[in-house]
Amino acid sequence: MILPLALLTLLHAYIGWRILPALPGMLAPGLFGALLAVSLAVQVLALAGRRRRQHDRAAADRWSWAGMLAFGAFGVTLTLTLLRELLLLVAPEFAMGSAAAVPLLALVAVFYGIFSARRTAQVKRVEVPIEGLPAALEGFTIAQISDIHVGPTVKKPYLQAIVDSVNALQADAVAITGDLVDGRVKDLHDDVKPLGELRSRHGTFFVTGNHEYYSGAVEWMQALRKLGLKVLHNEHVVLDHGGSSLVMAGVSDYGAHQFDESHRSDPDRAIGGAPDDAGLRVLLAHQPRSAEGAAAAGFDVQLSGHTHGGQVWPLNHLVPLQQPFTAGLHRLKQLWVYVSRGTGYWGPPMRIGAPSEITELRFVAA
């Protein structure tokens, strides 16, 4: 804990060292310096406050809001400060003007980021061409939501708006591709109740993400089943749609075995026993890096999330260090992989350059 706090303090001091002396006038340096001091203090106090108030969820959530907002604003300001350093390497004459731009642009970016994260995700429509798709499955739709992270700053009204938007699509099936929650069932059971209202022709299917394993995955799987969701734990169901069959399969999170060996992600097991003549084989897998196993197992489509599309620029450039795909539709051998940017957010309530989405995937003949 001491090392992260020391690093956070040094980075705040770095911003002050690089920006304060170049700010114009007498008032601006003092004001910006005070904001930096408040930012650091709020983050430190929020961390301590959340830990001391675990018995009081409302108080702990307020500390989370304060700390995450401060951390998000700090992250944006640090990014702009580093970008200014690059500018000064080629144009040192802009030292004063660019210093003033940092807090102003940070303020604009923070307000935009909060608006982008807190609004209800917009519907993104994607067509997926499938070779040999039976006529009965032409136009089959799946509404995918992912990475909502119901928890300290995402509550029941936020989720209810998502559920209402999904229901308006009248999809053939709904898929929830993990990281639904950040917290225990006992704290969030009321907040996730809107999921029981999801409606589609074939029902709602859920697979675990890594955050479910931080929050008690087995308990959450049981709770979601009680709400009427079909939890796919390295298994599949066969959907009869107009006389043709569609295999809807799901695997546990790619890293689930680190928490419980019996939950090891297994695409082969998920498709085991599925009919050979199925017109479409869909795998729900939280992390895109399940794709190699999905392709080897013979799936046609994998739906994933996890990456948030980076959530806040320039983090999208770091995603490829861990995942093969960041967002959107991709091809791996015979497998189509669609990666959602997520329907909620994690950590700071901000999205910049990676808008949230409710995805309507429509399968068409290639």
CATH of the domain at 344: 3.60.21.10
Answer whether residue 219 shows pLDDT above 90: yes
pLDDT, mean of residues 18-32:
89
User: Of 118, 152, 168, at which residue does a domain stop?
Assistant: 118
Share of the chain above pLDDT 90, in %: 89
Claim to verify: residue 166 and residue 287 sit in the same structural domain: yes
Would you state the pLDDT for residue 48?
76
What mean pLDDT value characterizes the chain? 95
User: Of 97, 118, 139, at which residue does a domain stop?
Assistant: 118
Would you state the pLDDT for residue 52?
62
pTM for the model stands at 0.94
**pLDDT tier, 54 (very low <50, low <70, confident <90, very high otherwise):** low
**239 Cβ contact partners less than 8 Å away, ≥ 6 residues apart:** 173, 202, 245, 246, 247, 248
Answer whether residue 60 shows pLDDT above 90: no
pLDDT, mean of residues 334-351:
97
Claim to verify: residue 185 and residue 69 sit in the same structural domain: no
Claim to verify: residue 277 and residue 338 sit in the same structural domain: yes
User: Of 118, 150, 167, at which residue does a domain stop?
Assistant: 118
**240 Cβ contact partners less than 8 Å away, ≥ 6 residues apart:** none
Claim to verify: residue 344 and residue 244 sit in the same structural domain: yes
pLDDT, mean of residues 97-113:
95
Claim to verify: residue 147 and residue 226 sit in the same structural domain: yes
β-bridge pairing 335-339 and 328-332: antiparallel
Which one has a higher pLDDT value, 148 or 94? 148
**pLDDT tier, 357 (very low <50, low <70, confident <90, very high otherwise):** very high
User: What does the pLDDT look like over 268-289, one tens digit per residue?
Assistant: 999 999 999 999 999 999 999 9
Q: Which domain holds residue 83?
A: 2-118
Claim to verify: residue 103 and residue 149 sit in the same structural domain: no
Answer whether residue 23 shows pLDDT above 80: yes
The answer to whether 174 and 200 are in contact (CB under 8 A) is yes
Counted domains in the chain: 2
Claim to verify: residue 109 and residue 126 sit in the same structural domain: no
